[in-house]
Structure 1
Amino acid sequence: MKSLNHSIIRQLFFKNSCILCPEKAHDNLHYMCYNCHKSLRDTGNLKRFNDIYYLWNYDEKLKKIIEEYKFKNKLYIGELLFGLIGEELDKLIKKEKIDGIIPIPVSHKRLMERGFNQVEELLKFGGYSYIKTSRIKETNHMYELLNSEARRKNIKSAFKIERLKGLKKVLIIDDIITTGSTMKEFITEIKNNNDTIKIVVFTLALSKTAKKINLKMR
């Protein structure tokens, strides 16, 4: 086994095709061909919409990547994603003078189903320290709810955040912002505990829906 190189091991134990197209996955990447990876790299520059920083518009490609990562236990995709976002995330942290990073928590049920929090794993790949919080309410998936009032009730009082002492500005990170209901409730809980703290929001992908409703977080 020790004589096998990394490429051969991948062929033996992992699906060796790109998750986005019919091409063969590149030997130095996980689950993605060179062209699809390059397209993501070229388009994944830091953007801002109102109070949200993001890298990509949420489209079918991003949906596929995140679904494979979150729901099919392909942790190597997290490593690939961090390779695409790491430099831009560093820029944002320095630009905004962030002194605390808070990933959106998942519920206990979802954690047991997936085995990991997808955002925390991205931060681990980058060696970032972060502040853990709790999701104390089991909620439905937001895409299952058809109107804003249902989404608001679904996420209401879902989080528990201890008082954030000594922090002036925090960066909240999630993988996708679709309607913004989850992020808004999370920010509300932070502000209930510390109304002087400044908040910056970062997500990998921002949906068209969020832009249509002119989403503001603060």
Structure 2
Amino acid sequence: MYTAGSADVALFTDAIESSPSANQSSDGNGSAANDGQAGATQDGATATPTPTASPVPDVGSAIATTTLAYAALTDVDRQLEYAMAHWKDYNTAEYGTMNPIGGDCANYVSQTLIARGWKQRSDWYNRDAGAAHSATWTYCPTMDPWLTANAAEFGLTRRSLDERDKVKVGDIVFYDWNDNDSPDHTTIVSEVFTEPDGTIRIKSASHNQDGPYRDLDEMITVQHPGGTAWFHTFDA
């Protein structure tokens, strides 16, 4: 969950094999959170969380054990640390919430970009706990073209859905639920991995629906059939 702290590490001479629990996440990689996270969505839909239980090997058979410390050292570390801290616990004291006026997804994504190192500016801001804010900060249909227009300055590249092999953790996703060329939702990529069959899976953190690891393909096929998505990826 990108939270600073210690992690126990064990070294084994043989591979550890275990069967996934019946409650194993459908993530395919044992993420602590899975596709569905409880919470209200921008369009009123809800999802029910599914518990995850990952098998733990017996460390008594390890030939060595130690503890390593994880710290948020890079811009992406800090961005995801913030995203994980506030996907459920809204930072309303600093940024307010835009749910009463249509949805907080863009507000949340903008906050994670501040944690990444971006600075507020005259054309992108949220002040006085949301009392004053720009549409580029809080409104998807305005934020998306603003990012495109300033892509060179921000070090971003706009990519289509079939360019998912270029997507990394920390990149921005926009979704168009009814494929009318106007975005309805935005999230921050929190996980990218490849299935055994070569399928690239992308998970992201968001508000509306609140969750840390929401599955992109589920969102545009199951939750919003006929939807599509695109990315703004960081060049470095």
Decide: shared fold, TM above 0.5.
no
Q: Which structure carries more helix by proportion? A: 1
Flag the structure with larger Rg. 2
What TM bracket, shorter-length normalisation? under 0.3
Larger strand fraction of residues = 2
